[in-house]
Chain A
Amino acid sequence: MEKDQNNILEEVTQGDYKYGFYTDIEMDTAPMGLNEDTVRFISAKKNEPEWLLQYRLDAYHKWLGMTEPTWAHLHHPPINYQEIIYYAAPKRKKELTSLDEVDPELVATFNKLGISLEEQKRLSGVAVDAVIDSVSVKTTFSETLEKQGIIFCSFSEAVQKVPDLVKQYLGTVVPSDDNYFAALNSAVFSDGSFCYIPKGVRCPIELSTYFRINAANTGQFERTLIIGDENSYVSYMEGCTAPMRDENQLHAAIVEIIALKEAEVKYSTVQNWYPGNKKGEGGIYNFVTKRGICKGNNSKISWTQVETGSAITWKYPSVVLMGDHSVGEFYSVAVTNNYQQADTGSKMIHLGKNTKSTIISKGISAGHSSNSYRGLVKMTKRAENSRNFSQCDSLLLGDKCGAHTFPYIKTENKTSIVEHEATTSKISDDQLFYCNQRGISTESAIGLIVNGYAREVLKQLPMEFAVEAQKLLSISLEGSVG
């Protein structure tokens, strides 16, 4: 990790948003706007069974009766849901059986990002389910995984291959009427990843997905479902980079995780959607619902997130601790710069006895940005002898940004213990002088200090991801002091 620090810091000095390029691929799109026909169009495009179409339509009607939430510490112009294209897929001429058949432009895009599928396949031992816009283009390593009974494919593929599993679990953690954006997603979700680890199987490799928004005016409505069957283990990674756009783009994803008895699911993400320019124009609106349920006893779900992108982030990865002795964890680094706004945090709902949860949140604010932590820890009556530890730290760069903490704690029993710690700090002139005196430029010094501040979270990430995360932290704070 450390040996890459220097390369990383060098990149900090480079100019604009690095991943702002655009791939020109023939699109197969739905007409602009949202109505019942749009929902039917998407479902038909994907050859979905009738029950799934009904699920979507039901969600759509619920969504119509809901209103956009306003409680978050976020400000943005109203979103016109009729000016969004809800489905876009790269046109596929035939079924692809090997990488050679993938559109060369698509491959070039991945190469620019440094995530060439071939490289991934050959060198890293990471299975990649690459999503460009809405349809999974290529899934690697599936065969290796299949031998163990592991299913790792695009969501659409899972609907065709294992419809019963999808039907059994879809919407069981995040109901379609959970919230406004969840309802929207449930109606129009395009694609995403599906992952099932059978009983007693320890997934031998990190499962990884790269998401990427590609077409102008296309909302991304990813849907991911991860199921860890009894006594299984999986570490799943999701990473995002998005090309530059002038218009705001809406992103409303749902991730559901189910951990059965003694299962452990570790979910890591590095989010780098286009944050808008330095004036606060453009950028992704990211309204995400991520939730896991520790259904069985002794199960464990762990969320680790590094958030550097998006104009607006609205995201609260949560764990419902239903099984006795289950464990929920949330590790987060959220960076906001320029005019970015983030309202993010976690919910830990303790239902089972002797359950344990940890929340470590590190906010970093720079420029004119606003960074809020919002968290809920709930100990229900039944959750005896349960524990939570929360730590929410804020680091401020400059004096025009804001950091806010909104912790909510509800305890309904007398045997549980909830601890909450919070700090706010700044990078001191003494620290910068000390670094400068050793020959380290101010920009590099900030990268170094920020990475040190976030280390507790970064060390939770799988190795290959940690390096990328360090880069992003430095890149996204570029020019924030001076």
Chain B
Amino acid sequence: MLSIKNLRVSINNKEILRGINLEVKPGEVHAIMGPNGTGKSTLASVIAGRDIFEVTEGEILYKGKNLLEMPIEDRASEGIFLGFQYPVEIPGVSITNFMRTAVNEQRKYRGLDPMPANEFLAKMEAKKNLLEIHAKLANRSVNEGFSGGEKKKNEIFQMAMLEPALAILDETDSGLDIDALKIVANGVNKLRRPDNAFVVITHYQRLLEYIVPDIVHVLFDGRIVRSGGKELAIELEEKGYEWIRAELV
């Protein structure tokens, strides 16, 4: 589904990603771990299409298409979702309106008519129930005045609404209390299907107690230095990132 080959990325002439290789297949959950400042969020942003980064080498293929040539919104409509580490506020725009616009623009891209209003509202209700989100999010402005936990829940809710093929969650667990963490993890687990994939970026092993990854990668200094099964995450938690650093020297 996603194939990244020798990806090198710079910002302001400073190289951040230094030759990333990553293969994600349908049905898989990947975890990318690593210390702060090693390029985890940069990788997520480049896949989503943020244009402040410069790709100097390598390629990203998504469903066989050259992702790097696609506009951001087309990538989204092709099924790529990014759960933001710091979701922005959009004052005055209700979540209902925001999601309806997103859903219908994606449908338009796929040549479908807009979703009828009643169907849309029913879908919102169903997804809220699925995720056990009880807060009245629908009429609130997007992320405005939300607590950290609410923002992250809202990201998961949007993911559920948009039903992406590939969801990248960028440190969605940071700053969450245990209840919010469970909602996030529960969301991922419930939305897992044989035909979609998740890339979960996290600093801590904690989230992986609730989301069991198929493959764990350690990103260090712009490279994936180690990949393995879920036991790698546990080893990392026990030995700390210093262990990796020491091994690399």
Contacts and interface: CB of A to CB of B under 8 A. Distances in A.
A454 B141 CA distance: 13
Nearest to B86: A430
Interface residues of B, number: 35
Given A6-B114, A436-B49, A439-B77, A448 B88 contact: no
A5 B100 contact: yes
B200 to A, nearest CB: 17
A433 interface: yes
Nearest to B99: A438
A69 B75 CA distance: 54
The DSSP consensus for interface residues of chain B is helix
Interface string B80-118: 011010011011111011101110111001000010010
A436 B76 contact: yes
Contacts of A428: 88
B92 A431 contact: no
Interface residues of A, number: 28
A453 B141 CA distance: 11
B137 interface: no
A5 B73 contact: no
A310 to B, nearest CB: 25
A433 B76 contact: no
Contacts of B76: 436-439
A429 B82 CA distance: 16
Given A452-B92, A456-B92, A5 B101 contact: yes
B90 A452 contact: yes
A22 interface: no
Nearest to B109: A439
A159 interface: no
A6 B90 contact: no
B25 to A, nearest CB: 23
A2 interface: yes
Contacts of A454: 92
Contacts of B52: 429
B73 A436 contact: yes
Contacts of B215: none
A444 B105 contact: yes
A321 B46 CA distance: 58
A452 B91 contact: yes
Nearest to A4: B117
A6 B49 CA distance: 24
Contact of A441 (B49, B73, B92, B162): B73
A436 B96 contact: no
Nearest to A427: B90
B156 to A, nearest CB: 14
A426 to B, nearest CB: 13
Contacts of A451: 92-93
A2 B162 contact: no
A9 interface: yes
Contact of A438 (B97, B98, B114, B117): B98
B111 to A, nearest CB: 14
Contact of A433 (B72, B101, B117): B72
A440 B102 contact: yes
Contacts of B162: 438-439
A9 B93 contact: no
Contact of A455 (B75, B87, B92): B92
Contacts of B104: 6
Contact of A448 (B82, B90, B117, B158): B90
Given A6-B101, A9-B101, A439-B102, A449 B72 contact: no
Given A3-B117, A451-B93, A454-B92, A440 B87 contact: no
- Which 6 pairs of residues, A with B, have the shortest CB-CB distance? A452-B92, A452-B93, A436-B72, A439-B76, A455-B92, A438-B102
5 contacts: A433-B50, A438-B102, A439-B77, A448-B93, A451-B93
Given A6-B101, A9-B101, A448-B93, 9 more contacts: A5-B100, A428-B88, A429-B52, A430-B88, A433-B72, A436-B71, A438-B98, A449-B93, A452-B92
Interface of B: 48-50, 52, 71-73, 75-77, 81-82, 84, 87-88, 90-94, 96-98, 100-102, 104-106, 109, 114, 117, 141, 158, 162
